[in-house]
Structure 1
C-alpha cells in the first residue's frame, strides 16, 4: 500500500480529500505544521509527501529542505495559494516533484500522486499493451517485406520496441520481443540469401546503398551541399546505440536524415570499411592494388590504407576539397584531436574513424567485469551512452556544432550477441572469425550457413584457388570441432560481427545539422 503524509495548517478542512484518497486505497497520515512533518518523515517510510507552502511558524519552503535531508528520494508535492514566479522557482529549485495551486481539487491530487508514484508501473502497463497490438502488425510486415527499405522499417520498429520494453518489469514481454527479433532475423537471413548476388552484380532501383557505394551515393553529395562537413565513422555502431546517444546531441544538432545503408559481406572491418573508403568491392581492391590488400590468412594490419583509398576515391570523383583524415584508436588520440581542432575547422571535408565500440566489444569477450556490465543489449546501450557522454568525441561534436559543421554519423557494420554454436572444420589457413569463415577444405552443414563456393560471384578475393566463404545467420557462431566445448563456453553471449543479421548489415546513416 502506498503511504502518504499530508502536511497543512488547515488539515481539518481537507478531511474530505484525505477520505477520498483513503477510499482509493492509499494510507494517509496528516499533520498541521512543519516541525511535526520533519519528525514524521524521519520516522515513517512515506512514498510521497504533500506539503503546504504557506504555514505559520515554519513555512513549507523552510520545511522542504529539512525533509529532503532525511528523505532525499521521497517525492514532495507543494501546495500553494500563490503563482508568483519567485516562489515557484524556489520550490522547483528545492527539487519538488510537482506543485498544486489552491483551492485543491481531489482529482488533481490523485493525478499528481499517480504521476509521481505509479508512473513507471502505468507506463510499463501501457507500453506492454501497445506492443501486444504492434506484435501482430510487425509479424504481418515480416511476411510482406519485399525490399531492403521494407526491412529497414521493420528493424527500426523492432529496435524502438526493444528499447521501450527494456525498462519493463514484465519478463514475459521481454521474451516476446526477443522471440520476434529472432523470427525477424531468420526471415531477413533468407531475404539476404535470395538477393545478395543481385545486389552486388546488378544495379537497379531496388539495390540498396551498400558499403562500396556509400561514399559517392550518400556522403559526397552532403559534402558538396555544405561548406563544412565532418564524417564520423564509429566502428561496430548499431542503430540502438545511435538512439541511446541521440538525446545528448539534441541541444546541439537537428537530425536532418535518420536512415540506413547495407553493409557488405563479410560484415567485418577489413572488408566493409576498406570498401567504404575505396568505393570498391574487396575483389576490385585486390586486383587494382594487390599490395594494399591482405587476405585473412596473411600477417599484418588489414586497414592500414584507408586514407590512401579515400584520396584515390576523391580524386576519381573530381573532388578538390581541403580534407583531413584521423583514425582514433587510443583515448589520448581523442584528446589530441580536440587540442588540434583548428585543422578540422579549416577543412571542407573531415573524416574521423573512431574505434572505441569495437574495442569495447572485444573487451567484453575477454574481460569478466566488462561482460558483467554488458550482459545484454540494454546494458550495452547504457554503457555506450555513458562512454559517449564523458568522451572526447562528445566534446568534439559540441565544438563542431558551434562552428557550423554538418556531421554525418555512420559505421562500417554492426554487431550481434551470439548464442547458438554451429560446428565447422577447416585447415590451419581458415580465417578465425566466428561469424564467417574463408579457406579451403571447409566442412559444414550447408543448410546452417550461407555458402559461397565461388567468392568472385560476390566480388570477394580468394585466399587460394579452392577457397570458399561461409556466413553465419541470426545469432549463430562458428566453432571448430576441436575443443568445441571450451570455445562455446568462452564465446557464447558475446558480441560478434562478420555474418548476416539485421544488427550487422542494416547500418545507421545519420545527418546532423548544427542548431542555429
Structure 2
C-alpha cells in the first residue's frame, strides 16, 4: 500500500512530537512546519494526502492557509485544529471548505480516527464491501441452483443490482468480473425459468401468475384514481431497474415512497407490444381482434405506437365505468417536456394523467448508431450515469418538483428494459421476417434451438401472427440475432449495444413505484 503523506503546520509543533512519532509508527509520513507560509510553499511543490492546520498561527493563520491550499488542490482534505468553537470561526472554516476540525488539546486517538475517516475510509469501505460480496456470492451461487419461483427471482435480481451498484464505487476489476459472470449465470437460469413457465402463465385461467403488462393499469394505477387526488402515471420508456435505482434517491428528495413493486413485461419485450399492452389493458392478439384499425403488426408500415391515447381511453371506459377526466402525452423532445410543465395547472384538473418520456429509449438506439454515444455509454455504469444526468436536468424533474408541492400520487415505471448484447446468434428467415435483434416473427425460420425460446403457436401466447405458419423466437441471455449474409460485419456492428425484445432479467423484471407527497 502506498505511504500516506501528511503535512502538519502548527507554531507549537514541538509539543506534538509524541503524536508525530505515533503516526510514523503507524506508517504515515508526516512533514511538519511552524507557520502557514512555509506550509503553503511546501504544499505547492510536493504531493500530500492530508493537511493538519493550527488555526491560530502567527502571520498567515490557519483559515488563510486553508483557503490558499484549497485554491491549489481542492480535493486534498484539510483538518483545522483550534482552541475555539466560536460560530464565526466555524462559518469561516466551512466557507473555506474545511473537511474536519479538532479541538485542542488533541489526543493521538482523535488524530488517528480523523486520518482513517478522511484517508483510509474509502479503502476500508472497499475492503468491507468486497468481503461482503464474496460471502453473498457463495449464497447467490447456491440460490441459483435451486428451483426458484417468480418472487425469488425478483429478489435475486434486486440483490445482483445492489451489488453491481455497490461494487461500481470500487476500483476492483476482479470483483466486477466475478459479478459479471454471476449475472450471466443468473440470466442463463432465468431464461430456463421463463421457458418452463411462460406458456403456463399465458393460460389466463391459472392464478399463480405474475403481474403482466396488460394488467398494470388495472391492478396498480386505476385503484388510486379518485376525485380528490390527481394521479400521474409516468412511463420512462426502456428504463431498467438499475437505472431507476440511481434516480430514486433524487425522487426521495421531493416525495415519500409508498410502494416499490415489480411487474413482468410480456414477450416480446418491445415497445410495440409491451407499451400498447399497458395502455390497452389487452394482450397483442386481443388488440388485433378488437381494434384491427389501430393495431400494427411487424410487417405493417408506419409507427407502431400511434394509438396509445385511444387504447387508454377505451381501457378507462371498459374498466373504471365512471367519469374520469384524463390526459395522455408523449414527450419526445426537451421543448415538449417544457410545454407539459407550462400546462401544469391544466393537468391538476384531471383525475388521471399519463405521461410517456422517450429519452432513455432514444439513448439506447443512439448508442447503436452514434459513435459518440457509444463512447459516452461504454458500459452499464456509464449508461446509468447518462440516464441520471438526463433526469437531473430534464423538464420531467421540473414537473416533479411542481407536483411535490401539491397533493398527488405519482406512479413511475417503464414498459420494458434493455440488455447489453454480447453473443451473436445466427438466424435465417425470409423477407417478411421482422428486423428486431432480440425476437423474430416469421415462417421457415432457421436457428440454433439451444439459443432461443420458440413459440410455435403464437395465439397460445396471445400474440398475432402474420400468416398461418408464423413462429416467434426470442433471444435468451445476451444473444442477438444476426442473418447469415454478412454475418461478421453485422455481428461486430451490433456487439455490445443495448437491445430489447427478448428474455433476460433486465428486459422482463420491471419496477413500478408509487410516490406521494411528504
TM-score (norm. length: structure 2)? 0.97
Distance 1:387 1:145 in 2: 39
Change (3 A) 1:174 1:181: same
Query: Partner of 2:146 in structure 1?
Result: 144
Q: Which moved more, 1:187-196 or 1:59-68?
A: 59-68
Distance 1:55 1:332 in 2: 56
Q: Which moved more, 1:175-184 or 1:162-171?
A: 162-171
Deviations 1:178-201 (A, max 9, x none): 011011111111111111112121
2:362 equivalent among 359, 363, 371? 359
User: Are 2:226 and 2:351, in contact at CA under 8 Å, matched by a contact in 1?
Assistant: no
Query: Partner of 1:208 in structure 2?
Result: 210
Query: 1:355-504 counterparts in 2 under 5 A?
Result: 355-504=358-507
Deviations 1:193-248 (A, max 9, x none): 11111212135442110000111011112334961210000000011101111122
Query: 1:245-394 counterparts in 2 under 5 A?
Result: 245-317=247-319, 318-394=321-397
Residue 346 of structure 1: how far off its partner (Å): 1.6
RMSD of Structure 2 on Structure 1 (CA): 1.3
Alignment length, in residue pairs?
Answer: 515
User: Are 1:462 and 1:468, in contact at CA under 8 Å, matched by a contact in 2?
Assistant: yes
Distance 1:119 1:319 in 2: 58
Which consecutive residues of structure 1, in runs of 5 or more, have no partner in the other structure? none
Distance 1:352 1:480 in 2: 37
Which consecutive residues of structure 2, in runs of 5 or more, have no partner in the other structure? none
Query: Partner of 1:128 in structure 2?
Result: 130
Distance 1:97 1:449 in 2: 55
Distance 1:151 1:440 in 2: 33
Deviations 1:380-400 (A, max 9, x none): 001111111111111111111
Change (3 A) 1:16 1:153: same
Query: Partner of 2:242 in structure 1?
Result: 240
User: Are 1:51 and 1:77, in contact at CA under 8 Å, matched by a contact in 2?
Assistant: yes
Q: Which moved more, 1:172-181 or 1:74-83?
A: 74-83
Query: Partner of 2:5 in structure 1?
Result: 3
Distance 1:249 1:328 in 2: 20
Residue 21 of structure 1: how far off its partner (Å): 0.7
Query: Partner of 1:505 in structure 2?
Result: 508
> Secondary structure of the residue that 1:346 maps to in structure 2?
coil
Query: Partner of 1:164 in structure 2?
Result: 166
Distance 1:129 1:30 in 2: 37
Residue 344 of structure 1: how far off its partner (Å): 1.5
Residue 136 of structure 1: how far off its partner (Å): 1.4
After superposing on structure 2, the runs of 4+ consecutive aligned residues of structure 1 that deviate more than 6 Å are: none
User: Are 2:227 and 2:351, in contact at CA under 8 Å, matched by a contact in 1?
Assistant: no
Distance 2:38 2:205 in 1: 78
Residue 347 of structure 1: how far off its partner (Å): 1.4
Query: Partner of 1:16 in structure 2?
Result: 18
User: Are 1:145 and 1:151, in contact at CA under 8 Å, matched by a contact in 2?
Assistant: no
Distance 2:340 2:165 in 1: 33
Residue 150 of structure 1: how far off its partner (Å): 1.0
Query: 1:93-132 counterparts in 2 under 5 A?
Result: 93-132=95-134
> Secondary structure of the residue that 1:291 maps to in structure 2?
coil
Query: 1:213-232 counterparts in 2 under 5 A?
Result: 213-224=215-226, 227-232=229-234
Distance 2:139 2:347 in 1: 46
> Secondary structure of the residue that 2:159 maps to in structure 1?
helix
Residue 62 of structure 1: how far off its partner (Å): 2.1
Distance 1:146 1:169 in 2: 33
Query: Partner of 1:52 in structure 2?
Result: 54
Residue 112 of structure 1: how far off its partner (Å): 1.3
Residue 505 of structure 1: how far off its partner (Å): 0.2
Distance 1:451 1:225 in 2: 46
Residue 363 of structure 1: how far off its partner (Å): 0.3
